[in-house]
Amino acid sequence: MKLLEVKNLRTYFTISQGTVKAVDDVSFDLDHGEALGIVGESGCGKTTSALSIAKLLPKEGKIVGGEILLEGKDLAKLSDEEIQKHRWNDVSICFQGAMNALNPVMKIGEQIAEAIVLHHKSSEKDAMKKAAELLELVEIPGERINNYPHEFSGGMKQRVMIAMALACDPKIIIGDEPTTALDVMVQAQILNLLERLRTEFDMGFILITHDLSILAETCDKIAVMYAGRIVEKGSSEDIFQRTGHPYTKKLIKCFPDIKGNKRMMEGIPGAPPNMLEIPPGCPFHPRCEYAEEVCRRSMPDAIERDRGHFVACHRWEVMRSER
């Protein structure tokens, strides 16, 4: 059984101006020990996907369709009570800038211990011991449990947040831009750490970013989102070597690759659509150099082009034949 199977998920926000289809018919899966990257520009629905899985949506957001199967159990249908338990034990999210959420007047160890007591109902003494172990796990000396957040660097604070995420032995860790605020060196260290922990504990890991180059080295598979949909998904090789969607192609050109080979940093002209007025047809067509009449008219289905490699584009063959 898969660790996680998201099938045809739809998560909508109802606001006074209308309905935002933030996640619209999204499907992906994740195995134990596997890492999935979700990439796309701002507003394409990455965080909403994560919050749906963690059952942490704000009240205006609702899962209106689809399934989220965690080891076969549908999280979309849990009772409120079951949700409480799920939140702490199954899925942990580390957000961008989460480190700033640390309480400045509380020792680091006490903050980690608090999470442990909450989730494991262990004694405070045991919790402090476990807090020190968790710090060691994220490569911070255990004796630093007695330090305050201001005595830590940004990267160390983000490690502390990871330690807290581990406190409840999650089956899945989601990093939502977990390293965005950090410099490149520290970013690489944190990603290495997450990779080590994932393998060591056989956890599933979902890494959300707008920088595709980060995912190349970190993730087994990648889903590219645009305007609430997955426009392409496949293995890292599929995405980088057999790129199937014009949007992915643009994203690849946007960033230098991780080995430091500086490519031209082309921005993608135009902007993603207003999510209240998604254009008919393929949502990417107004920005797509390959767009033709059919793209303005009909939404392309995601079709398996190589094994496990799905592309939602009418013009994929034309694009691919160009390389």
The binding site for ligand ATP (CB under 6 A) comprises 13, 15, 20, 22, 40, 42-48, 58, 60-61, 210, 275
**Contact of residue 42 among ligand ATP, Mg ion, none (CB under 5-8 Å per partner type):** ligand ATP
Three-class HEC string of 261-319: CCCCCCCCCCCCCCCCCCCCCCCCHHHCCCCCHHHHHCCCCCEEEECCEEECCCCHHHH
**Contact of residue 44 among Mg ion, ligand ATP, none (CB under 5-8 Å per partner type):** ligand ATP
User: Which residue of 47, 52, 92, 111 would you call a contact of Mg ion, by CB under 5 A?
Assistant: 47
Task: Find residue 193's DSSP bridge partners.
Answer: none
CA atoms of 259 and 124, how far apart (whole Å): 45
CB-wise, 25 or 119, nearer to ligand ATP?
25
Enumerate residues 180-239 that contact Mg ion by CB under 5 A: none
Least separation in angstroms between CB 15 and ligand ATP: 5
Among 108, 182, 97, CA closest to 151:
108
Least separation in angstroms between CB 261 and Mg ion: 28
> What is the distance in angstroms between the CA of the first residue and the CA of the last residue of the chain?
38
**Contact of residue 234 among ligand ATP, Mg ion, none (CB under 5-8 Å per partner type):** none
CA atoms of 273 and 139, how far apart (whole Å): 42
CB-wise, 48 or 187, nearer to ligand ATP?
48
Does 49 help bind Mg ion (rule: CB under 5 A)? no
Task: Copy the structure tokens of residue 74.
Answer: 């549908």
Span from 39-47, 137-145, 272-280, 299-307 in contact with Mg ion (CB under 5 A) = 39-47
Among 24, 93, 17, CA closest to 53:
93
Among 148, 160, 91, CA closest to 119:
91
**Contact of residue 48 among ligand ATP, Mg ion, none (CB under 5-8 Å per partner type):** ligand ATP
**Contact of residue 209 among Mg ion, ligand ATP, none (CB under 5-8 Å per partner type):** none
CB-wise, 89 or 180, nearer to ligand ATP?
180
CA atoms of 294 and 315, how far apart (whole Å): 9
**Contact of residue 173 among Mg ion, ligand ATP, none (CB under 5-8 Å per partner type):** none
CA atoms of 10 and 24, how far apart (whole Å): 5
Which string of DSSP letters, residue by residue, matches 185-233?
Answer: HHHHHHHHHHHHHHHHHT-EEEEEES-HHHHHHH-SEEEEEETTEEEEE
CB 25 within 8 Å of CB 9:
yes
Span from 43-51, 55-63, 161-169, 221-229 in contact with Mg ion (CB under 5 A) = 43-51
CB 266 within 8 Å of CB 310:
no
Span from 42-50, 218-226, 265-273, 289-297 in contact with Mg ion (CB under 5 A) = 42-50
CB-wise, 61 or 109, nearer to ligand ATP?
61
Least separation in angstroms between CB 215 and Mg ion: 15
Least separation in angstroms between CB 80 and ligand ATP: 20
Residues at the site binding Mg ion, with contacts judged by CB under 5 A: 46-47
